Structures are given as C-alpha cells and as structure tokens.
Amino acid sequence: MGKKKHSDGKTVRVHDRDFRLYISEQKIRKSISSMAEAIEQAYGELNPILLPVLNGSFIFAADLVRELSMNFELAFIKAQSYDAFHSTGDISERIGLELDIRGRHVLLIEDIIDTGNTMAWMLKKLAEKQPASLDIATLLFKPEAYLHDFPIRFVGMEIPDAFVVGYGLDYDGHGRNLKAIYQVC
C-alpha cells in the first residue's frame, strides 16, 4: 500500500495513515536556497566534505548541493534508529564513512533532528576521526523533542514535535517521494 491522494489534494494516505499538507514544496525550496547561501558564506574556499545521512536526507541533500556554487566533496553515511513512528533508541551504522576526514571541514546533512540521539552518536564517531570542524545542516528541527546541547549550525525550519512524512521523510518505508511535507492527521 503506497501513497494515495485524497480528493481535496491537501491530504494523502501513506501506508495505512492519513497525513495533511504541512510544508509546501515552495516553502521547502525557499528554505533550502537560504541555507545554501549561509553555507557558502560559512565555508567559502574551504572545500568542505558534505556528508548526507541516508536514507532520509537524500532528496534534501540533492536539492541543497544543486544550490551550491562552491567546491565541496560529497560522501554518504547511513545510520538507523527509527521503527515506524518511534525512535528505537538503538542506533546502528549501515554504511560507514570511507573518506579520510582528518583535518577537513565536515558538514553533516540531515533531513530532521528530533531527539538528536542519532546525531549525537554520529558526532562522537566522526569527532574520533579528527576533522578540522564538524557542523550540522538540517532541513527540519524539533526543539521540543531535542535532548542534547550540541549546536545545529544550519536549520531550515523549526517544527513542533509531530510526525511528518514526505520530501525524503518516510513512514515505515513509505512516502519519501512526496514533494511537500505532510503531518499525520
């Protein structure tokens, strides 16, 4: 069972749940454009390593890097801590980093940060590899759910602690292909 639009165009059915339009495609694009400008100002000529966290950030990361005119390298990592609607609390690395980041400026790219547990785990692992700097860019941030104090340098939008799907975010493996972001009804 996949994505199915309802007759009003403002709600979709993903897997077995209904979601309503929350953030439009236009608002997402505007946020990404602003983030790209801020990232270019921050990194200028530093040739950073951009490190999207799979699976969720792949759409956001693709759109973000197309907005950048600076030089950068791109690599991917994958960690998982979610099962359907809830964080399991157990974080596992699925794809490790093969690129040497010692002495390099690294920007982690995430689709959403809620509790921050996965990102805290990644920051610890990556800091052991001694990068020159280690920053985070996230499209969505849930400050109400956040349990850590590490800084998130680039935030596209802050949202309340509600479950969202679309634009790379999934519900039990479904809904990543939605062009906008939808919130569970």
49 inside domain: yes
Integer CA distances (angstroms), 123 to 12, 52, 53, 160, in order: 35, 13, 12, 24
In whole angstroms, give the CA distance from residue 113 to residue 21. 20
> What is the residue range of 75's domain?
27-80+96-184
Which of 39-44's residues contact partners 24+ apart within 8 Å by CB, and which partners?
A: 39/64, 39/68, 39/70, 39/107, 39/137, 39/154, 40/68, 40/69, 40/70, 42/135, 42/153, 42/154, 43/70, 43/72, 43/105, 43/107, 44/70
The pLDDT assigned to 6 comes to 53
19 inside domain: no
Q: Which of 111, 114, 135, 170 is catalytic?
A: 114
135-151 confidence digits (pLDDT tens): 999 999 999 999 999 99
**How many domains is the chain partitioned into structurally?**
1
How would you write the pLDDT of the chain (185 residues) with one tens digit per residue? 455 555 456 999 998 999 999 999 999 999 999 999 999 999 999 999 999 998 889 999 999 999 999 999 999 998 765 554 455 455 444 446 778 999 999 999 999 999 999 899 889 989 999 999 999 999 999 999 999 999 999 999 999 999 999 999 999 999 999 999 999 99
CATH code at 58? 3.40.50.2020
Report CA 68 to chain centroid distance, whole Å. Answer: 17
DSSP-assigned letters across all residues of 85-111: TEEEEEEEEEE---S--TTSEEEEEEE
105 inside domain: yes
pTM, to two decimals: 0.88
The pLDDT assigned to 89 comes to 54
114 is catalytic: yes
